[in-house]
């Protein structure tokens, strides 16, 4: 079983080339001293929305998932979430921070100048929740800068990511960056995998992992099969949605079998999350899940930490 190695924190004013990290670890360590069984993770902000939020962990377990994720799960208090996860043999795979005001349609704060205080408050809230429920990854959402000067948006984003990395140093929770395509969120600051790689190389894969989403990659024209072969060590989490349409696997044209085989070949050790828009109701679209659970990609060990050993900031 490959567990990887840790990396020292690299100052944000020094960019290390990708070659500095290549070959040292194919899957970053998330501060873990315990390896959990590979998880198929239900994004319960997209799936099972037919149910009240507090009922979705149990429903996800009943459907056959072994993990859940949600950007802002605060509708269920952390201690209760911990108990629900333990009761159903589940883990919480990733959480977000700095999401902004959903009423205003905001998709993040990290790249928005003048909102740094809000970002930090949100980050601390999410980090404390992650520690209390045993969640290994936290995603600072970049947001949509709009007419903000691109150079200022970049400075703000790196400043906030730098803060996030600093706050997670030495903790079993690490920073996760996702490239969200403009096909899904027009104007999103961090929209391309190449840009996410550049940010990751500032800090190293042991401090910042990448969330690779099949829909966003396909929408941007990225062929993930060779990309995974060259960059598996960068990946901390995977999101599954078909393309086009962003629905269940099998509803579009994405080559999932080849993608899963690439993950197996490269010994990917993270969770596989399902963040798609159900074509009808969630349960009617879960016919694919049984076959996915039998795939070799679902038998790899995934990084995590013992959720019975919770901590607080």
Residue percentage of the chain with pLDDT more than 70: 83
Across 126-147, average pLDDT = 97
Within-domain flag for 121: yes
Q: 304 vs 292, which has greater pLDDT?
A: 292
Within-domain flag for 165: yes
pLDDT at residue 221 tops 80: yes
Give the pLDDT confidence score for residue 105 in this predicted structure: 87
Within-domain flag for 163: yes
Q: Which residues contact 176 (CB under 8 A, 6 or more apart)?
A: 94, 137, 138, 139, 208, 209, 210, 211, 236, 237
Within-domain flag for 64: yes
Within-domain flag for 6: no
Give the pLDDT confidence score for residue 76 in this predicted structure: 98
Within-domain flag for 3: no
Across 50-70, average pLDDT = 97
Within-domain flag for 1: no
Least reliable range by pLDDT among 6-15, 35-44, 89-98 = 6-15
User: In the numeric block, which tokens belong to residue 225?
Assistant: 């099969």
Range of the structural domain that residue 46 is part of: 18-304
Give the pLDDT confidence score for residue 36 in this predicted structure: 30
Across 177-183, average pLDDT = 98
Least reliable range by pLDDT among 5-14, 68-77, 211-220, 277-286 = 5-14
Place of tokens 């013992």: 306
Predicted confidence band at 38 (pLDDT cuts at 50, 70, 90)? Answer: low
What is the domain-level CATH number for residue 82?
Answer: 3.20.20.150
Least reliable range by pLDDT among 189-198, 199-208, 260-269 = 260-269
Q: Which residues contact 56 (CB under 8 A, 6 or more apart)?
A: 42, 44, 47, 48, 49, 68
Residues 28 and 5 sit within 8 Å (Cβ to Cβ): no
Q: Which residues contact 151 (CB under 8 A, 6 or more apart)?
A: none
Q: Which of 248, 266, 269, 275 is catalytic?
A: 275
Among 232, 305, 302, 300, CA closest to 31: 305
Q: Which of 69, 178, 266, 269 is catalytic?
A: 178
pLDDT at residue 30 tops 70: no
Q: 3 vs 249, which has greater pLDDT?
A: 249
Give the pLDDT confidence score for residue 297 in this predicted structure: 75
pLDDT at residue 24 tops 70: no
Within-domain flag for 9: no
State how many domains the chain has: 1
275 annotated active-site: yes
C-beta neighbour count of 254 within 10 angstroms = 21
By CB neighbour count within 10 A (0-12 exposed, 13-18 middle, 19+ buried), where does 116 fall? middle
Give the pLDDT confidence score for residue 296 in this predicted structure: 77
């Amino acid at each position: 079983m490959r567990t990887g190695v840790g990396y020292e924190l690299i100052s944000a004013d020094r960019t290390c080339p990708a070659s500095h990290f290549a070959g040292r670890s194919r899957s970053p360590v998330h501060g873990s001293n315990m390896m959990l069984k590979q998880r198929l993770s239900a994004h319960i902000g997209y799936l099972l929305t037919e149910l009240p939020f507090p009922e979705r962990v149990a429903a996800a377990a009943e459907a056959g998932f072994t993990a859940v994720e949600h950007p802002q799960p605060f509708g269920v208090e952390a201690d209760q979430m911990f108990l629900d996860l333990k009761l159903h043999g589940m883990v919480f795979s990733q959480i977000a921070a700095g999401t902004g005001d959903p009423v205003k349609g905001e998709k993040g704060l990290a790249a928005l100048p003048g909102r740094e205080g809000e970002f930090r408050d949100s980050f601390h809230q999410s980090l404390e929740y992650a520690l209390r429920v045993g969640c290994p990854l936290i995603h600072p959402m970049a947001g949509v800068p709009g007419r903000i000067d691109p150079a200022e948006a970049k400075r703000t984003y790196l400043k906030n990511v730098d803060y996030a990395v600093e706050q997670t140093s030495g903790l079993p929770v690490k920073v996760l960056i996702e490239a969200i395509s403009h096909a899904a969120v027009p104007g999103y600051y961090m929209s391309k995998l190449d840009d996410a790689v550049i940010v990751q190389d500032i800090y190293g894969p042991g401090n910042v992992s990448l969330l690779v989403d099949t829909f966003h990659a396909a929408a941007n024209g990225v062929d993930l099969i060779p990309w995974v072969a060259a960059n598996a060590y960068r990946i901390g989490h995977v999101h599954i949605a078909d393309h086009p349409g962003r629905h269940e696997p099998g509803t579009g044209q994405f080559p999932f079998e080849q993608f899963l085989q690439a993950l197996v070949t490269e010994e990917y050790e993270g969770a596989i999350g399902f963040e798609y828009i159900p074509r009808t109701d969630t349960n009617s679209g879960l016919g694919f899940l049984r076959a996915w659970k039998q795939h070799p990609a679902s038998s790899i060990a995934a990084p995590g930490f013992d959720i019975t050993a919770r901590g607080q900031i």
